[in-house]
Every structure is written in C-alpha cells, then in structure tokens.
Structure 1
C-alpha cells in the first residue's frame, strides 16, 4: 500500500512520461495528477498545461530552479512541493486540500522561486496587471500576502481576521482575476500570466 493510499487517496493510474499522463488523465478523469518535473519525452512542466484542463496538478520534484517552478505554475500547476521538504502526512494533506480547493501548496523554496521567477518579468507587464484588476484594498493586501507564499492561516494572523474571512477574500480574488489556483493568481497579480 502506498503512502497516498494509506492516507485515503485512491491511485487510479501511473504514467512513465507526460504523454502517457495526459492519455491516462483523459481516460480516467482523476481529481488530481501528481507530476515530477523530470520525465522522459514530454516532461512534467509541459504536461502540466494540458493536464490542468482535465484536473488539478500538483508538482512533486527535487528541482528548485525558479524558472522551472514559475513555468509549471504558469502552465496550470495548482502547487509545487519539493522532495525532502514535506512529510508523508503533509503530502496526503496537500493532495486532499488541493482537490478540495482549500489550498495551492508550495514548499518554501518553491514559493520563493515562484516569486523570484515572476518578478523577473519586465516591469511594464507588472504595471499593466496591477492597473485595475478590480480588487478592493483589502483584497489587494491579501493578494500581496498570497504572492509572498503565505497560507490562509498566516494571512489571517497577519491581518487579524479569521481564516474563514481570508477564504472569502481568496474566492473573490480568484473570481475577479479569473483564475482557479493560487499559482495562477500570483502570475496574474505579478503580471506574468500569458
């Protein structure tokens, strides 16, 4: 029995490369796909795009390159966990939370890499994205904290509000930015969404 199965996650398929992952996802329609960055043929970063249309995508990799992580998020990955930075129970929780839409998990090194990659984009794009996305001042505060890689609990603590209030802000932000994941919201907020 795998770690995931022990945590109540049904594993419906396994793929050896990105092409097979997309084929299996089309056929099996899983709630979430766990992908490594480095795979033969079509790698996980490239596969994240078509897979994110079919289900949520959670990257699991040793790769901490900011460009790789940023591209995976821009391609639709809901989260990015770096091996060695999480325990088995944290992985199971991340899978459940991602499927339920409660979070977009990022390992601390992945969070820093996402912000670094996104901030390296040309300034005119950043300014254009922030001109008027329609966020209230409080939503803009929440979005700034999301872009720093903060969890809903950390945001609630920083703003002295409940996690429920933060969750409501996050849902409104996602609707206004027309995104489904924290990674996509960060990309749109920092002006790097394609």
Structure 2
C-alpha cells in the first residue's frame, strides 16, 4: 500500500505489554502504521508534535502526565481515542471536553472493531464510543442537569433549530445507535444519515458525536 495512504497511529499506555499487543494488531492490517509509542502523557505530547500522527490511542491513568490532561494538547495535533479500563462517567465527560473524539473501554470491543474505529475516525465517519462509555456519558449528562427542570423536547428542538427528522436522528444517537442502525430504523441510506448528522453538528456547534450528546442533553459547558 502507498505509504501516504497509510493511517499513522501513536499508542500511549504505561503498560508495555498492552502497547506491544496494540501495535501488533494494528500493523497486521496493512493500512495502519504505528509511528510511535509512549508510556506517559508527557512523552506522548513531545512525540506527537514531532510525528504528527492521524490518531492517538490514549490511556487514562499514567505517570507524569495522565491521559485526561494530555488529551487537551494531543487533540490539537491529532484525533484522540481514549483506550482504557476506566468507565467512570466523570472521566468520560472530562475526556470528551478535553478533545477526545472517542472512548473505548478494554474488553468491550474486538480487534476488528478497534481497527474499524481507527479507520472511521480518520475518515470522519464515526466517533467510537463503547457501550459502557456511551451509557456513562449519557448518565452523567443527565445527572448534570438534574437540578434544573427537564427541557421540553419541543423547546429543545426550537432552541437548536433542528428539523423533525434531525430530532429523530439525534434521539437515536443519544440512545447509542450507530449510523447503520439509525439508517435501518428510519428507512434511510447510511449516507443520508451522515448528512443529517453533519447538519446536526453544525446546528449544535459541536465537532463530534460525544459532545453532541452532552449538548443535546443539556450538560453545562466546562467552566
């Protein structure tokens, strides 16, 4: 494969065994190249500025600089997918607010699903969230607005200027459905669903699926 067409990935985890396993699995695809590895967030930041990877797979709990802090810097260089054992809702929310476009929890995905998540992230087709992370994100967002009266769906629709169909799509996103599932449920093509989602992002003023969920559910912005 043309080197220029290969997806450049950096793997960041303080466990060398995990780094090695991820590197082997990704490079076996033929279209993904692991261009660098780091065992902490500080080293990852240094390497990323030099290597300019397309995707960074980033653990949460690491020495020196943790993944949540590093995501703030790394997300300005690359597309960051958190890859971790941590399912804490507050951690998921912080990761998203710090720029992560995806959050995958170990043992909740296959190697093939991870590879596809990397490809889809680079191609802007999806923002991977494992079910555990998606549930945590939604629960935390709802908890964050629990002290205030629940927003009326019609008011929420008017606030963001979404069409009735866009509201249907957004509702299914919040429920954790992938684009393919949304297309099947609404009898649309997957391309049409993607077009709706892009319009939703524009109207909500968000860059990805994770922050769209947070915004739609009324989670206050990071202070």
TM-score by length of 1: 0.92
Structure number having the greater strand percentage: 2
1:144 aligns with 2:171: yes
The aligned runs of 1:1-194 (5 Å cut-off) are 2-7=24-29, 8-123=31-146, 124=148, 127=151, 130=156, 132-192=159-219, 193-194=221-222
Between Structure 1 and Structure 2, how many residues are aligned? 194
Q: Which runs of 4+ in 1 moved over 3 A?
A: 123-131
Cα offset, 1:103, TM superposition: 0.6
- Residues 87-111 of structure 1: CA deviation (Å, up to 9, x unaligned): 1111111101111111111111111
- Residues 108-130 of structure 1: CA deviation (Å, up to 9, x unaligned): 11111111111111354974993
Max radius of gyration: which structure? Answer: 2
Structure 1: distance between partners of 2:73 and 2:168: 32
CA RMSD, aligned part only?
Answer: 2.0
User: Gaps (5+ residues) in structure 2?
Assistant: 1-22
Cα offset, 1:35, TM superposition: 0.3
SS state at 1:68 partner? helix
Structure 1: distance between partners of 2:92 and 2:102: 9
Contact 1:48 1:57 in 2 (8 A): yes
SS state at 2:83 partner? strand
Contact 1:76 1:184 in 2 (8 A): no
Of structures 1 and 2, the one scoring higher in RCO (CA 8 A, sep 6+) is: 1
Contact 1:82 1:107 in 2 (8 A): yes
Contact 1:78 1:183 in 2 (8 A): yes
SS state at 1:41 partner? coil
Structure 1: distance between partners of 2:112 and 2:81: 15
SS state at 1:80 partner? strand
TM-score by length of 2: 0.80
